[in-house]
Structure 1
Amino acid sequence: MVVPEEFPVGLDADWQAPGSVKIDCPYLKNWLLDTGSLTERLQSLCRHFELKLIGQKKQPLHTSEANWLNSSVPGEYQVREVVLMGDGAPWVFARSVIPEALIQSELGGLGCQPLGQRLFNDPRFRRGGFEVCRIPAQQWLNTQQPETLWGRRSRFYFDNLSMIVAEVFLPAAPVYNQE
């Protein structure tokens, strides 16, 4: 699968606690703070769901990621970036920071399988609280679209390991349609 060139790599945003950000739209707020599986929610809204893997490898973490994980060890994580597609439209860009120990065990061999399928079908994974961000579409996607994109991230815990799953809702995502 080829990922369109317009998708950025990386996600170094200004993450904030949901209570410190004004989210006027209840529908949007519901999407941002939904504790269920985003993958399952998206799959229920389309006929054809697809995950496009941008890449997964060891790479430096953004400062906010390292701080949130309380980690200063650069090689102990892999970064996985994907685009979740609904009926051929790019809906979500996701960046996950996964401990190498989990890649070697419970989360090995993900390939094009959604990470959420593993996390939400294994009761040993626990989700922590959310942070949210707003990103100007023009800046992030290098486009003329004036809207603001919304994102969320949370930590998942497995024994003494923690990981980050961050998701940005792209312009075609159903989060922006209140039908």
Structure 2
Amino acid sequence: MSLKVSPEFPVGLDVNWAPSSQVALSDPYLKNWLLDTGSLTERVQSLCRHFSLEKLGQGRQGLHHSEQALLNAATDSDWQVREVLLCADGEPWVYARSVIPQTLIDDELANLGTQPLGKRLFNDARFARSDFELCQATPEALSRLNMDIADTLWGRRSLFSFQGSRMIVAEVFLPGAPAYESRYRYGR
């Protein structure tokens, strides 16, 4: 998969989410990737020689209705959106969109820069993760990524809680990700 031009920030992820318990996944390999509770960043790093994170952007952006509902957010002003690509050996495998309260940006997550968010979350036991919600993202929903995407892609999101603050971390597995390996191997 190749980038046509640099992605446009914000890409957004305005899709329908469902609790993972209500989604039928017939592919056990894909299911393993979607429901893995470990650090996705570490998993990607373990499968490549060169890991890189491309920060698409971070700042105050409008939240999608489903994000506002999940966070019980009445306003967009107290949140920042951070979007990145997790790349393995130069190929984008994961698009991630996080909605982070400004209070965490000012304190616990200050100076995040191009460091993976997962590195902070999974190395600090004070962050607690909720169950996953899953989505299917159409090529149209991800058009601002400016990538050649032909198929509907799978994604997941969860809430992380920290001392009364809550943040969303959403990830979509891009076509080159090994989450779809059985699709290519067995023609699914």
Match of 1:24 in 2: 26
Verify the 8 A CA contact 1:138 1:144 in the aligned structure 2: no
Segments of 5+ residues of structure 2 without an aligned counterpart are: none
Match of 2:175 in 1: 171
Q: TM-score, normalised by structure 2?
A: 0.88
Q: List aligned pairs for 1:122-141, cutoff 5 A.
A: 122-137=124-139, 140-141=142-143
What is the CA–CA distance in structure 1 between the aligned matches of 2:32 and 2:49, rounded to whole Å?
22
Q: List aligned pairs for 1:57-96, cutoff 5 A.
A: 57-96=59-98
Letter in 2 for 1:22: A
RMSD: 1.8
Segments of 5+ residues of structure 1 without an aligned counterpart are: none
Letter in 1 for 2:71: L
Query: What is the CA-CA distance between 1:59 and the residue it aligns to?
Result: 1.2
Match of 1:114 in 2: 116
Higher relative contact order (CA 8 A, sep 6+): 2
Closer/same/farther in 2, CA of residues 139 and 105 from structure 1, 3 Å limit:
closer
Verify the 8 A CA contact 1:137 1:143 in the aligned structure 2: no
Q: TM-score, normalised by structure 1?
A: 0.92
Letter in 2 for 1:135: A
The range that moved more, 80-89 or 8-17, is: 8-17
Report sequence identity in percent.
56
Match of 2:54 in 1: 52
Length, aligned pairs only? 177
Per-residue CA deviation, residues 12-69 of structure 1 (Å, 9 max, x unaligned), is 1111111222211011111101110000000000000000000000111111000000
* Deviation beyond 6 Å, 4+ runs, structure 1: none
Verify the 8 A CA contact 2:94 2:174 in the aligned structure 1: yes
Query: What is the CA-CA distance between 1:135 and the residue it aligns to?
Result: 1.6
